[in-house]
């Protein structure tokens, strides 16, 4: 009921009292759906401000004590009406509209028709300018057409006792439904009296109540025991309702975005977990490389040179097993090849198990966050997650792999060209540069933090990361050089990723992604 006909009838006398005699000094827009009007006169310090918020889903007026105009992206609207004095403020008969009539036969009409709300400037009773240009038919409206003479006599009410919206079209569906429920199965005269009392209560409300529904706020002219705020004047009620409504909508929008992002992450992570578990099961079941190597070593004397395959007694299963061999290698070399494969499979199994554990932990975190966000009832409950989203969004804008180790940010290049971009464009001169020694791999940058020294154990973890993102990721140990980025330079004409490093220190570390 925040833009109902009955509220407008109560609002107009209040506006008339406050702005009659003042001048429209400015009207401007800072977005396509909101117009701000300011009224003042000589010698008056306090401006009277009207905010006309006119989106297709929510149209409402507010009257704040102040409004700070932005320096940029501001458009002046209805400039021909500037400095025109307010002569009158009037409502229209049976219509959700009112007019601020100005000097020189001008009038600003507030057409508050739900999803087609607009402001129209009239000159000599003809529309000369409209605020929202997508409602082109508003340019053809007649000033007098806003008044609607309707038959609202007792007989008209009785003739439409089951359809009161025909007699009182400004009631709106919720009030029509309520009135029908009140008059249902009642004697005609009783129903007539109930209807008249109902309309009278709307036209002469005892106050204005703001009611909180599960998803938003509503403004009512009918007293409600569940009201969160009550006001005696319509302008104050509208202003507070406007603030609460937009705040609740903003909260719900933030909540929806947070939940949507987490559900998407949950689906992706669960899909990744399923594929990773399948891969782990596959390499666990199908490998048998160590058993093959052991069988070859136990039968060295039975394997002839240049053999491409051999069938051996499998002492693990008690049956025969055919083993493929490289005919260019002797039996012992074939066994060593299978042992190396077994080692690599073992490393891959460990990596997959660690990944599964990390992803399962992430799923648990996501499920807890979803539950907390769904139960949140105010912005304070979402503050932590909104901050986290902003941080993650900022991180995603960095075109490199990003890690957080001991509260330090680490960037890892993904290829040779990215290595150059990372080291030469993104890294600051005091950041630490890491790279596996004498082998191709990613450039790794540890971002410095002002006034904070980097612990030795953090340097070792980042060195392990640099080793992992190199050709030596499967070795037991890998030497990694590191130095401040200012001692890294790129020779002119050198291929992507190639740099010269000076004053570096070297650590011998195990290639791994630190937890």
Residue 210 contacts by C-beta under 8 Å, 6 or more apart in sequence? 217, 218, 219, 220, 227, 228, 229, 230, 231, 237, 240, 241, 244
DSSP string, 5-49: HHHHHHHHHHHHHHHTT-EEEEEEEEETTEEEEEEE-TT--S-EE
Q: Do residues 66 and 38 lie in contact, with contact meaning Cβ atoms separated by under 8 Å? A: no
- Beta-strand pair 208-212/217-220: antiparallel
Secondary structure class of 404 (helix, strand, coil) = strand
Q: How many angstroms separate the first and last alpha carbons of the chain?
A: 56
Mean pLDDT per segment of 10 residues, for the chain of length 515 residues? 88 94 93 92 81 92 88 89 95 94 96 91 95 91 91 90 88 87 89 90 88 84 83 93 90 90 93 91 74 88 89 83 90 90 82 89 92 87 84 72 91 93 92 95 94 92 96 94 95 91 95 86
- Which of 166, 210, 201, 19 lies closest to 98, judged by CA? 19
Q: Please give the helix or strand (H or E) that residue 322 lies within, else none.
A: strand 319-324
Measure the CA–CA gap between 478 and 439, rounded to whole angstroms.
10
Secondary structure class of 193 (helix, strand, coil) = helix
Q: Do residues 428 and 448 lie in contact, with contact meaning Cβ atoms separated by under 8 Å? A: yes
Residues facing 243 on adjacent strands: none
- Which of 428, 422, 431, 430 lies closest to 499, judged by CA? 422
Measure the CA–CA gap between 37 and 48, rounded to whole angstroms.
8
- Which of 214, 2, 164, 212 lies closest to 96, judged by CA? 2
Measure the CA–CA gap between 389 and 370, rounded to whole angstroms.
14
Q: Residue 269 has what DSSP assignment?
A: H
Measure the CA–CA gap between 345 and 284, rounded to whole angstroms.
8
List, in sequence order, the alpha helices (H) in 376-478: 379-396, 416-421, 456-468
Secondary structure class of 52 (helix, strand, coil) = strand
The most distant pair of C-alpha atoms in the chain lies apart, rounded to whole Å, by 116
Residue 11 phi/psi, 5° resolution?
-75, -40
Question: What integer pLDDT is reported at residue 395 of this predicted model?
Answer: 62
Centre a 10 Å sphere on the Cβ of residue 237 and count the other Cβ atoms it contains: 25
Q: Do residues 221 and 349 lie in contact, with contact meaning Cβ atoms separated by under 8 Å? A: no
Q: Do residues 465 and 412 lie in contact, with contact meaning Cβ atoms separated by under 8 Å? A: yes
Chain-centre distance for alpha carbon 265: 14
Q: Do residues 238 and 221 lie in contact, with contact meaning Cβ atoms separated by under 8 Å? A: no
Question: What integer pLDDT is reported at residue 385 of this predicted model?
Answer: 85
CB-neighbour burial class of residue 247 (10 A; exposed 0-12, middle 13-18, buried 19+): middle
Q: Do residues 314 and 295 lie in contact, with contact meaning Cβ atoms separated by under 8 Å? A: yes
CA-derived radius of gyration, the chain: 38
List, in sequence order, the alpha helices (H) in 142-288: 154-159, 173-183, 188-203, 234-286
Q: Do residues 89 and 15 lie in contact, with contact meaning Cβ atoms separated by under 8 Å? A: yes
């Amino acid at each position: 009921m925040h833009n109902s006909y009955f509220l407008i009838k109560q609002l107009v006398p209040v506006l008339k009292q406050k702005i009659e005699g003042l001048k429209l000094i400015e009207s401007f827009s800072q977005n396509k759906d909101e117009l701000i009007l300011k009224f003042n006169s000589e010698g008056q310090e306090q401006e009277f401000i009207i905010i006309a918020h006119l989106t297709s889903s929510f149209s409402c007026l507010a009257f704040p004590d102040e409004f700070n105009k932005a320096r940029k992206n501001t458009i002046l609207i209805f400039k021909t009406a500037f400095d025109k004095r307010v002569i009158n403020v009037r409502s229209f008969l049976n219509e959700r509209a009112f007019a601020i009539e100005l000097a020189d036969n001008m009038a600003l009409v507030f057409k508050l028709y739900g999803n087609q709300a607009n402001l129209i400037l009239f000159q000599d009773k003809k529309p000369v300018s409209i605020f929202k240009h997508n409602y082109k038919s508003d340019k053809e409206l007649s000033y007098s057409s806003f008044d609607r003479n309707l038959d609202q006599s007792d007989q008209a009410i009785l003739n439409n006792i089951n359809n009161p919206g025909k007699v009182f079209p400004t009631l709106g569906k919720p009030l029509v439904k309520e009135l029908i429920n009140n008059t249902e199965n009642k004697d005609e005269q009783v129903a007539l009296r109930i209807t008249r009392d109902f309309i009278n209560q709307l036209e002469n409300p005892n106050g204005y109540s703001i009611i909180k529904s599960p998803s938003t706020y509503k403004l009512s002219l009918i007293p409600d025991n569940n009201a969160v705020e009550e006001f005696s004047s319509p302008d104050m009620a509208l202003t507070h309702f406007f603030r609460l409504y937009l705040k609740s909508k903003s909260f719900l929008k933030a909540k929806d975005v947070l939940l949507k992002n987490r559900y998407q992450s949950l689906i992706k992570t669960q899909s990744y977990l399923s594929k990773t578990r399948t891969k782990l099961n596959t390499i666990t079941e199908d490998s048998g490389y160590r058993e093959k190597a052991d069988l070859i070593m136990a039968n060295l004397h039975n394997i002839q040179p240049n053999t491409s395959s051999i069938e051996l007694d499998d002492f693990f299963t008690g049956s025969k097993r055919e083993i493929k061999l490289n005919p260019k290698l002797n039996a012992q070399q074939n066994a060593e090849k299978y042992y190396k494969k077994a080692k690599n499979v073992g490393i891959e199994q460990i990596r997959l198990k660690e990944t599964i554990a990390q992803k399962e932990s992430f799923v648990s975190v996501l499920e807890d966050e979803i539950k907390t966000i769904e139960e949140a009832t105010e912005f304070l409950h979402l503050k932590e997650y909104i901050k986290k989203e902003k941080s993650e969004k900022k991180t995603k804008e960095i075109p490199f792999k990003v890690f957080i180790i001991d509260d330090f940010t680490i960037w890892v290049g993904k290829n040779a060209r990215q290595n150059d971009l990372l080291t030469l464009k993104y890294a600051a001169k005091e950041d630490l540069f890491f790279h596996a020694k004498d082998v191709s791999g990613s450039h790794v940058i540890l971002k410095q933090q002002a006034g904070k020294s980097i612990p030795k154990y953090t340097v070792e973890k980042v060195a392990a990361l640099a080793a992992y993102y190199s050709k030596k990721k499967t070795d037991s140990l890998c030497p990694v050089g590191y130095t401040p980025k200012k001692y890294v330079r790129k020779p002119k004409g050198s291929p992507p990723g190639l740099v010269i490093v000076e004053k570096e220190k070297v650590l011998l570390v195990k290639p791994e992604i630190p937890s």
